[in-house]
């Protein structure tokens, strides 16, 4: 199947339509996907207006179900894409396993760890690729479990030659490599193997992929973001965040010394807040990765991307 055709036939499910969810939907609808189903049972809240650009600009909608009130502007973006909305409660929906079976790809936004793990068990059972994402102000994450994936990229020969079997990172292996000398092209086939998301919270892979210096300079945002997933989204104090993050550092086999006061303060202020430039970046990256994944072109994110808006960094770790 050609790239366009694969994209045009893909059925995607998105769970929760907040700020980053709206950015993803916008990008995928513009990209021309076959259909998007959206699950969200929330009502429009005042604070949603800070970063959710599809909301109707009228206070009388506050307190009403969100999805029925934003579907029109989404459909307007591209009338060839089918949009279906479901205002069911996601946790209840999890019991109806067959509901998830029909999708080619699932994207969960702003979920808590328990929901992610249950969803991931389902996607593994049905062999469906899963992306999860969320943000805290200027910080954010994308975690992927695409199970297994082979992608082929053709590009101008720029880099040094690769060898078959070479590890590009802990979970990316060169499966095939050809050079087309006359046209100055190289064709690189990469096989990605993914870990179940439940295992990343206790992964001992970090010390294996980072040098000592890199480990010392690791941003606090990785352990803090992972530990915030374990909370139930109710507001935590700086001390609570600190304790959880220290625990996460020990789970990941890294030194808690990396936790800085500045980051703990920023996360205390920004935990679970939405901020549109962060959503734009995350939503852009995630949609781009989904499109690349569906077209089997570039090797996708594997498996934990952290957006650190303080340092302007977006490292990807293989956990």
Partner 1 sequence: MAKDTYLKKVLGEERFNHIKASKVLMVGAGGIGCELIKNLMLTGFGEIHIVDLDTITLSNLNRQFLFRQKDINKSKAMILVKAVEKFNYFDCKLIPHHGNIMNTELFPISWWSSFDYIYNALDNVEARTYVNSIALFLKKPLMESGTTGFQGQVLPIYPYQSECFDCIPKDTPTTYPVCTIRSTPSKPVHCITWAKEFLFMQLFDEVQILSPEKLAEQRKILESETTDKKEIDNLMNETNELNDLRKLTSSTIEEFMDNLVNKIFVKDIEKLIRIDSLWKYRKQPVPLDYATYNSELSSMVKSTSSDVLHNETKVWSILENLYVLYQASKSLIDRIQSGEKFISFDKDDDDTLNFVVSASNLRSSIFGIDVMSKFDIKQIAGNIIPAIATTNAIISGFSDLQSLNYFKSYELSNQDANTVFVSMKPNRFVARATLASPNPQCASCSLSSRGIMSLSSLDGTLQELIDNIKEFYKYEDISLILGKNKLIYDFDFEDNVDRSLNSLGFKSGETLLVQDDNDELENLELYIIIGEEFKLPELTLRAKKVFKEETDAEDDEPIEEGVVDDIIEVEPPIKKQKV
Contacts with partner 1, residue ranges (CB under 8 A): 23, 26-27, 30-32, 45-47, 49-51, 53-57, 73, 76-78, 137-138, 168-169, 172, 209, 269-270, 273-281, 283-285, 287-288, 291, 298-299, 301-302, 305, 309, 311-317
Which residue, 227 or 299, has its beta carbon nearer to partner 1? 299
182, with CB counted inside 10 A (0-12, 13-18, 19+), is exposed
Least distance between partner 1 and beta carbon 159 (Å): 11
Tell me the C-alpha distance between 10 and 308, whole Å: 31
Nearer to partner 1 (CB atom), residue 50 or residue 187: 50
Minimum CB distance to partner 1, residue 125 (Å): 28
Residues 34/290, Cβ–Cβ less than 8 Å: no
Identity of the residue, 68 or 97, whose beta carbon is nearer to partner 1 in the bound complex: 68
Residue closer to partner 1 (CB basis): 92 or 165: 165
Q: Find the shortest distance in angstroms from Cβ 95 to partner 1.
A: 32
Q: Which is nearer to partner 1, 26 or 149 (CB)?
A: 26
Least Å from the CB of residue 46 to partner 1: 5
- 221 vs 302 by CB, closer to partner 1: 302
Q: From the CB of 244, what's the least distance to partner 1, in Å? A: 19
* CB of residue 69 to partner 1, shortest distance in Å: 12
Least distance (Å) from partner 1 to the CB of residue 97?
32
Q: Which is nearer to partner 1, 74 or 106 (CB)?
A: 74
Q: How far apart are CA 44 and CA 121, in angstroms?
A: 30
Strand order in the sheet with 167-169: 148-156, 185-193, 172-180, 167-169
Q: Give helix 238-252 / helix 221-229 axis angle, nearest 10°.
A: 100
| Rounded-to-integer distance, Cα 8 and Cα 179, Å | 31
Q: Which is nearer to partner 1, 99 or 272 (CB)?
A: 272
Contacts of 208 (CB under 8 A, 6+ apart): 170
What gap in Å lies between CA 69 and CA 80, rounded to an integer?
A: 20
User: In degrees to the nearest 10, what's the CA dihedral of 244, 121, 17, 71?
Assistant: -170
CA nearest 230: which of 201, 270, 258? 201
User: How far apart are CB 118 and partner 1 at their closest, in Å?
Assistant: 28
From the list 185, 190, 152, 147, the residue with the least C-alpha distance to 168 is 190
Q: Are 139 and 231 in contact (CB under 8 A)?
A: no
**Gap between the Cα atoms of 274 and 137, Å rounded:** 5
Q: How many CB atoms lie within 10 A of CB 146?
A: 21
């Amino acid at each position: 199947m050609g790239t366009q055709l694969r994209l045009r036939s893909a059925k995607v499910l998105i769970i929760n339509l907040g700020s980053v969810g709206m950015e993803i939907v916008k990008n995928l609808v513009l990209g021309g996907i076959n259909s998007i189903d959206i699950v969200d049972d929330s009502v429009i809240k005042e604070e949603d207006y800070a970063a959710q650009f599809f909301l109707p600009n009228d206070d009388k909608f506050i307190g009403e179900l969100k999805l029925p009130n934003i579907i029109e502007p989404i459909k307007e973006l591209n009338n060839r894409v089918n949009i279906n909305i479901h205002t069911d409660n996601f946790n209840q929906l999890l019991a109806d396993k067959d509901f998830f079976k029909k999708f080619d790809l699932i994207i969960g936004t702003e979920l808590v760890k328990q929901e992610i793990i249950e969803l991931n068990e389902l996607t593994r059972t049905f062999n469906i690729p899963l992306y999860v994402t969320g943000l805290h102000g200027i910080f954010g994450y994308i975690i992927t479990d695409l199970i297994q994936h082979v992608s082929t990229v053709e590009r101008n020969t720029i880099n040094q030659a690769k060898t078959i079997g070479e590890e590009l990172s802990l979970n990316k292996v060169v499966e095939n490599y050809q050079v087309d000398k006359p046209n100055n092209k190289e064709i690189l086939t990469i096989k990605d193997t993914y870990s179940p998301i439940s295992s990343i919270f206790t992964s001992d892979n970090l010390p294996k992929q980072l040098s000592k210096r890199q480990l010392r300079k690791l941003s606090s945002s990785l352990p803090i973001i992972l530990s915030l997933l374990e909370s139930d989204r109710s507001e935590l104090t700086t001390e609570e965040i600190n304790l959880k993050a220290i625990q996460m550092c020990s789970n990941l086999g890294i030194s808690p010394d990396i936790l800085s006061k500045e980051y703990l303060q920023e996360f205390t202020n920004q935990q679970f807040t939405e901020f549109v430039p962060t959503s734009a970046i995350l939503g852009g990256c995630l949609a781009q990765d989904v499109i690349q994944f569906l077209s089997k072109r570039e090797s996708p994110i594997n498996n934990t991307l952290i957006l650190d808006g303080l340092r302007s960094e977006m490292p990807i770790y293989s956990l």
